[in-house]
Structure 1
Amino acid sequence: MKVYPGSWPVTVVCGASGTGRTRFAYALAARYNGHVIDTSDVLQAVRAMTGPEQYPELFHQDQPLAGTAEEVATARLRAADVLAPAVRAVITEQPRLRLDGFQEYPHTVVTGRHALPTLAWDFAVVLRETGEQIHANLAGRYPRDDSLDRRVRASMLVQDELVRRGREHNRTRCHVVFVDARPWSDAVDRARGEMNDRWDSGNALG
């Protein structure tokens, strides 16, 4: 594994269901020769050690989808907020490796349904997609689903909230990059280029 000197250790990739978030995150991690933490894995670990009486938000299931799009979006965001301390704990315990005579962190990309911009301290990427494309992507995932339109509406509401939180978090020391998923062929390059430019500029300015 090659660790790039001077690079930041963690990038958080956020996106609503149907935006291509997972595919984007793994492609980004490959560019940095890093690895991925998926919040779904953290969720499963927490669920194994708790119960719905302790954390009802984390045991919400949407298969089959129940409730209005607004209720589904609210439930997903509430679960992300409740899970955030556990995800932060996993992030902060990433091991350092001694390579080339230096102690360095391999690059970690954090993603998943419960990834929030506020989990980042250096960089977060908020991946955005059109409603039409989210509909097409979710239709492929949930064929013959009578609740497809609600799923799309819920994803759009989650996306709007991720963008809002990202803009708010961007006012702090953290950098939040907003990336349109299309065209897909250069989405990772666009995100990576903006992050590298901001990192280099920030270091040059001290």
Structure 2
Amino acid sequence: MSGTGEVPGPPGWRVFVVGGASGMGKTGVARALARRYDVPVVEVDDIVEALLAVTLPEHLPEVHYWRTHPEAARRAPESVVERQIAIAEALVPAVEAVVANHVGTDTPVVLEGDYLLPRVVTPGGPVRGVFLHEDDEAQVTANYLRREPEAGPQRHRARVSVLYGRWLAARARKAGVPVVAPRPWEDLADRVGRLGGAAAQPV
């Protein structure tokens, strides 16, 4: 580690996945790693928006779900999580296509988003990554309040995030993908950068 806090040397990956539920700090970490390695960030939200623009609900009903059923976001947290999982599964072919393109063209990128699944990561291979998970609902509520103060405490959203995050974290560990605790925030990017796809372990 250099005195600047940067991870030395070029990355050994072509795609670095930063996954996890909403409110876990993924965007900040992804941007920090992108600056560190001078590579772009691809956000899964952009992939979703592109698919929404070129398809109809009957083509990809899961991807269009939140637009066709806006009231569904207010249902029981467990129900919302089930829908998020279904959307993530539906997006797998699109995500895999983006990953394959960057691996095949040897163009490194940081890939970030709520709908990323651990199966796209190959620990020790060209597609590495981590999943961030904060299990404290009060902390996630505070994260949202700090980011979106005008919305007030978003406790339902925080509950959904923690439940979905647990589901992702369990699958990441099973796949050998590191699961990282966001706190302390100060060295999160360094901790993620050092892992770079190591065997699953709490950090």
Task: Specify the code of the residue in structure 2 equivalent to 1:46.
Answer: L
Q: TM-score scaled by structure 2?
A: 0.80
1:179 maps to 180
Deviations 1:100-135 (A, max 9, x none): xxxxx3431111121121111232201122322210
Contact preservation (8 Å) 1:88, 1:119: yes
2:163 maps to 157
| Secondary structure of 1:57 counterpart | coil
Q: Of 94, 110, 133, which residue of structure 1 is paired with 2:139? A: 133
Structure 2 vs 1, CA of residues 6 and 39 (structure 1 numbering), >3 Å: closer, same or farther?
A: closer
**Cα separation, 2, equivalents of 1:186 and 1:7:** 21
Deviations 1:19-53 (A, max 9, x none): 11111111122222211111111111111221112
Greater percentage in strand: 1
Contact preservation (8 Å) 1:29, 1:35: yes
Q: Does 1:82 align with 2:96?
A: no
1:102 maps to none
* Identity across the alignment (%): 33
Deviations 1:50-109 (A, max 9, x none): 111222211122866321111111111210110111111012112877xxxxxxx34311
Report the alpha carbon displacement of residue 139 of structure 1 after superposing the two structures with TM.
Answer: 2.5
2:37 maps to 32
1:204 maps to none
| Secondary structure of 1:25 counterpart | helix
**Cα separation, 2, equivalents of 1:181 and 1:28:** 15
2:61 maps to 56
**Cα separation, 2, equivalents of 1:142 and 1:58:** 28
1:202 maps to none
Q: Of 137, 142, 150, which residue of structure 2 is paired with 1:143? A: 150
1:173 maps to none
Report the alpha carbon displacement of residue 11 of structure 1 after superposing the two structures with TM.
Answer: 1.1
The structure with more radius of gyration: 1
**Cα separation, 2, equivalents of 1:136 and 1:11:** 27
1:73 maps to 81
Q: Does 1:47 align with 2:47?
A: no
Contact preservation (8 Å) 1:33, 1:107: no
Contiguous gaps of at least 5 residues in structure 2: 1-8
1:124 maps to 129
